[in-house]
Chain A
């Protein structure tokens, strides 16, 4: 015995939609997903020919190809010399490498008191179970301080190169962005909804556990940056800009780098002046241990995540 269901209500049920999808009579994504085909910017044949001719003429004028004697000579001997030079370089470097101490032998010069102390006393002196983290953030923290500023200055250089400042230019960037990237992709959004939280959590875990196991600020920050980029791709700029803009980036990275600089200034100053540091090392293996390393890892992670995300945004749209 079956109850009669009105046609209209039946059409709304899951089983009907499933059946329709199975039979191929209706595509559930049709009309739901904005689909753009990527197209080359419109350009007529004539325009293109002119552009190419202009480039050619410009090149000829810049290098003065007609009268540039040096350039002609250079072009002729360049191939010969480059091959000879490469062969010379290869032979020289191979000779040097074969002269180096064999890999992994115990009596190699690199196995000296430096490595020995890192391995034997690293845990006790830095409180970090992960010796590598102990090395880069405590023994040789000055190098890592420089390294995190390398990332920061790289972002600044990309900002100089790609950021669009004018109102007009920004709108143009937005429009172009809409041309090339499909929006509101249900598949991507669903996947991102599932994936992004674990990715971010995992990144945070890698940063926080940097002194306890493999990981640290650089790798964790990269994971978080990847998560943010996935979120941006799925949901578009309108949503990400609610919590992450250029201003946020500038402020967070400034705070992180300032925190790093100040923390390390303190430890450099006390270390050099033989003052006992008041920061406790804690119990090795506990999450709150190993002195400043945890804080520094968080700072590095924030900088790295911001750098990755900013690179992506700058190359895609030129501003946010």
Chain B
């Protein structure tokens, strides 16, 4: 066995080990360890990718007992590529949010943040590589708890509420997933993905246990859909992404939900078999919810007044795209979904970091009124936000265009779902354009004359105080709001004021351009990876 084949196992164990290690270090050293670990794992995954793209996928036995008795992980091109990509995005997210983390997290709890991030990385890697459904469940638990920690480590009332909601919904999703796995185990007698697939083929041939199998598939799909915020289950998302600290928002939106989607794709292809999935009606449910999410998510984003929450609602729409692609239940649909996973991960984290940059140039406020003209005050963030917006809308050159093209191509010729898919794509693109272009225009609008604005602010604060006068707490809130509004709302942020964030933004833009201009090899790689799943 080539030494490089050990790398996936080593990267899982390394990130797992670095979690407890960070808990005994102080914040500064924990950050260094975290950065090093992510970088090393990214490099190792690149080597693995090089190794498997030349040869065959392989299984790696975890211990002295082979497959159905012991644990094993499986490495193909898609897995290695995903691991490498996730590490790159995570590294950039962590890089972009250094200043916000220092300001928003208590001094003594900084190291705990890195514990969470390391274990989150570990669970993502395990979800990507695992070949065993129960192992997947164990690491889904780690993923859930660490995501919760990432949300509430910025300790405000809003994040506590958001974390509570996230916890409830996410645990419901885990519960459904576990129930589905139990059903599947009862009718197949296995937990290893390949063995389950064999057994599923046997029982579909005999027609035995049909209801149980379908219920298991439904429970697992819905469970993972809840955890990745598919439309009707998305209520936890805007608060969780909108109020947590920058790195958390970026990591949650671009990686955590994507890990679950990748697991679902693995379940479709490697556990139940895409043929059985296609014949079941479960995919239609995902398809309908996906389309509903594309429209409703965008409508909510249009109504939103807060920049970060707007980007969060846009995630609901983008997750809708991914599930729509899965709902087509064809290889082309799955490829488009996977490409959109990459494209969304690269773009959404870019948007979050850029939005933080814009807020920084607007007195720390990301309310819609305050960011007027912020693109002039922080030029790099302005450019980055524009790039991200264009990519989300689907302009050529950027990554979003390719994924929309792939979705449209996947839909063409599909028996029943062609028309709804294409219409939904068109409507959703227009809605995306409405809220993203609205924001881009706003950040490049010169602010109206200051005195008029001042008057308007004090006026609104005054009326608020009058109408609610007498109630202590409320008037305190009014005063606080008026203070935020009347605060010096603009300052120019120099290009290299915060080199880490600038570097992260530039890298994100480059990543976006690479995905947008050089899509053919990546699409081929995804296609090859999906074929390897069989």
Decide if B135 is an interface residue (CB 8 Å cutoff).
Answer: yes
Interface segment among A210-218, A227-235, A270-278: the answer is A270-278
Q: Are A156 and B23 in contact (CB under 8 A)?
A: yes
Q: Are A114 and B149 in contact (CB under 8 A)?
A: no
Given A101-B187, A153-B19, A96 and B112 contact (CB-CB distance below 8 Å): no
* A260 → B minimal CB distance (Å): 9
Number of B interface residues, CB 8 Å? Answer: 64
Cβ contact within 8 Å between A269 and B186 = no
Q: Is A83 an interface residue (CB 8 A)?
A: no
Residues A99 and B212 in contact, CB atoms below 8 Å apart:
yes
Bound Cα distance from A41 to B518, whole angstroms? 65
Most chain B Cβ neighbours within 10 Å, of A101, A153, A258 = A153
Instruction: Give the distance in Å from the alpha carbon of A160 to the alpha carbon of B152 in the complex.
Output: 8
B61: interface (CB < 8 Å) = yes
Q: Which of A243-276 contact B (CB under 8 A)?
A: 250-251, 253-254, 257-258, 261-262, 264-265, 267-274
Q: Which of B116, B183, B471 interacts with A96 by CB under 8 Å?
A: B183
Q: Which chain B positions have C-beta within 8 A of A258? A: 17, 20-21
Cα A141 to Cα B116 in complex, Å, equals 22
In the bound assembly, the distance between CA atoms of A161 and B153 in angstroms comes to 7
Q: What size tier do the contact residues of chain A reach?
A: 35 or more
Assess whether B446 is interfacial by the CB under 8 Å rule: no
Return chain B residues, CB-CB under 8 Å to A265: 13
B17 near A250 (CB under 8 angstroms)?
no
Q: How far is the CA of A175 from the CA of B323 in the complex (A)?
A: 53
A165 and B63 contacting across the interface, CB-CB below 8 Å: no
A283 in the interface (beta carbon within 8 A)? no
In the complex, chain B residues whose CB is within 8 Å of the CB of A268: 9, 13, 62-63
Q: How far is the CA of A138 from the CA of B64 in the complex (A)?
A: 9
Cβ of B362 within 8 Å of any chain A Cβ, yes or no, is no
The minimal Cβ–Cβ distance linking B209 to chain A, given in whole angstroms, is 6
Q: Are B142 and A146 closer than 8 Å at their CB atoms?
A: yes
Count chain B CB atoms within 10 A of each CB in A108, A125, A159 and give the residue with the most.
Answer: A159
Q: Which residue of B lies closest to A60 (CB)?
A: B474
With the chains together, A118 CA to B68 CA distance in Å? 11
- Cα distance A118–B24 in the bound complex, in angstroms: 38
CB distance from B1 to the nearest CB of A (A): 6
* Complex CA distance for A271 and B59, rounded to whole angstroms: 13
A129-156, CB under 8 A of B: which get 1 and which 0? 0000000001111110111011011101
Residue of A whose beta carbon sits closest to that of B9: A268
Contact residues in B for A140 (Cβ distance below 8 Å): 70-71, 134
Contact of A150 among B142, B152, B211, B216 (CB under 8 A): B142
User: In the bound complex, do residue B1 and residue A108 qualify as a contact, i.e. CB atoms below 8 Å apart?
Assistant: no
Q: List 7 A-B contacts (CB under 8 A).
A: A50-B473, A57-B468, A58-B477, A161-B152, A163-B108, A254-B20, A264-B63
Residues of A within 8 A of B (CB): 50, 53-54, 57-58, 61, 92-93, 95-96, 99-101, 108-114, 117-118, 125, 138-143, 145-147, 149-150, 152-154, 156-157, 159-161, 163, 165, 250-251, 253-254, 257-258, 261-262, 264-265, 267-274, 277
